[in-house]
Structure 1
Amino acid sequence: MTPQQLAQRAIARMQLSGPAIRMTIEGPEMGIVGVPLWLWTEVGPTTWGPNSATASVPGLAVTATAQAREIVWDMGDGRAETCRNAGTAYYTGGIVSPTCQHIYEKSSAGQPGEAYPVTATTTWDVTWSGGGASGSLSVTRQSTASVRIGEVQVLVTQE
């Protein structure tokens, strides 16, 4: 077995995953056209890192370490957001600008399920060493969700 093969085993042991997708709205709630939708992932060893693992066979051990570099959020409306951090978790009353957001320009009406499909892809940077060798590589992991977006109509009358 080569050090590179052991590195792949170590990476598999980390159980790296796509983002634990979180957004300002949840479940059946509906977002609003023109209002920023905060995007973030729960931060943990398998969703953002850092994470490390060792794989070995008699006489050879390789340790790999992974850290997420970015999340690309395909928002289902033909646009994507690239966020180079885990994002800022929303809290009720949160008025500070998020570090990762998307603003929908159209309602999700007419989309399958009346919702936009959201695909978040994390790119992980992995370094490994052992057995007199070392290397680095990138791996990606994806998660999916959906979000319903509606419009608010305002009627102003003069008396």
Structure 2
Amino acid sequence: MEAMYPYFLVVHLLCAIIFLGYIFTDVILLTPIRKILGDEIADKFFKIISQRGTKIMPFCVLLLVITGGAMMTRWINFELGFFNTKLQILLSIKIFLALLIVLMVITSLSFKFFIKKKNPLANIIHPIALFLGFFIVIFAKLAFY
């Protein structure tokens, strides 16, 4: 596993950039466009982007979870402990926040593909994911500082 760590790290970072970049673009850049273009044109625009995002983001999140879980075992495990060091505590908080995002992704996909109704949380999921993602990045950097 140790030999694979650098590969997991690169894939994890690329997927995190893609995921948070998509969320950032939606929340910060595209949402204000609705006021300028109006609801009808903005809805068409968002529909095109979300169709592409729905295809890419679940795979990206899955890779984030797999690579993050693999990397986590280097720092947090039964031998090293779980909350013995500052690094382990911050990584545990980061993991908890990431699992909240994964839960929101699963909820969104469930509504879209299984329940086939509009997600009642659709308007708040991306801002919450952006907020949590920001703190995930901060905790990841602080853990190794």
The answer to whether the superposition gives a TM-score over 0.5 is no
| Greater fraction of residues in strand | 1
Larger Cα Rg: Structure 1 or Structure 2? 1
Superposition TM-score, scaled by structure 2 size? 0.29
| Greater fraction of residues in helix | 2
